[in-house]
Amino acid sequence: MKPALSLAAAAGLAGCAAPAPATANPQDAFFDALAARCGKAYAGKLASDQEADADMRGKAMVMHLRHCTPDRIEIPFHIEGLDPDGGWDRSRTWIVTRTPAGLRLKHDHRHADGSKDELTMYGGDTAGPGTATRQTFPVDAESIALFTRTGRGVSNSNIWSIETTADGFTYGLDREGRHFRVTFDYSRPVTPPPSPWGW
């Protein structure tokens, strides 16, 4: 009886000593989930309802995971009917990059002739690990300086977010009094659109 108990105890100790499986870095998992869809484009819509975004309400939208490297993902955001001529506005590209400390989100804004908008390359870095499906990007010092210089100090407390789940992609912007969301359905792939302006 005693040897049996000893064997059981030894087995129990061996089970306790077994190393736990390594937990994946949530930022790596998030980045890899986006990169896995590289080259694909999806239909979307405005999901928030503030008056500031009335011109986007009901407009067709497409996000395109256009170009990916191990450290950078470029995601143009196209909106139908916002171009001055009534066509597609192709001025916006979200850029997610890896940094030594986490992830960074920047917004590249261009004019139809390809020139850079006065307000471009603003964004922020992650301040925590986030999750495999959601990352947030508080405004960085460079962007605060840009917003202040261009008279847009109201944006100095911006926090952007990106979510990617099995169902879809959501881009968000939040600050006091401001709530913006656009969502894209992974079950609704579309033909990739033309290149964004200036790319």
Q: 57-87 pLDDT, tens per residue?
A: 999 999 999 999 999 999 999 999 887 777 9
Give the domain ranges of the chain: 24-190
Residue 8: is its pLDDT beyond 70? no
For residue 12, what pLDDT is reported?
Answer: 43
- Name all contacts of 146-153 with Cβ < 8 Å and 24+ positions apart: 146/119, 146/121, 146/122, 147/119, 147/122, 150/118, 150/119, 152/119
pLDDT at 159: 98
The pLDDT of residue 83 is 72
Read off the pLDDT of residues 84-104 as tens digits, 9 standing for 90 and up. Answer: 777 999 999 999 999 999 999
What pTM, to 2 d.p., does this model score?
A: 0.87
pLDDT-derived band at 3 (thresholds 50, 70, 90) equals very low
Whether residue 18 is predicted with pLDDT greater than 50 in this model: the reply is no
pLDDT higher than threshold 70 for residue 16: no
Task: Note the pLDDT tens digit of each residue in 132-150.
Answer: 999 999 999 999 999 999 9
The answer on pLDDT for 33 being more than 50 is yes
Q: So what's the architecture of 24-190 in CATH?
A: Beta Barrel (2.40)
Average pLDDT over residues 12-39: 74
- Rounded Cα distance between 59 and 55, Å, is 8
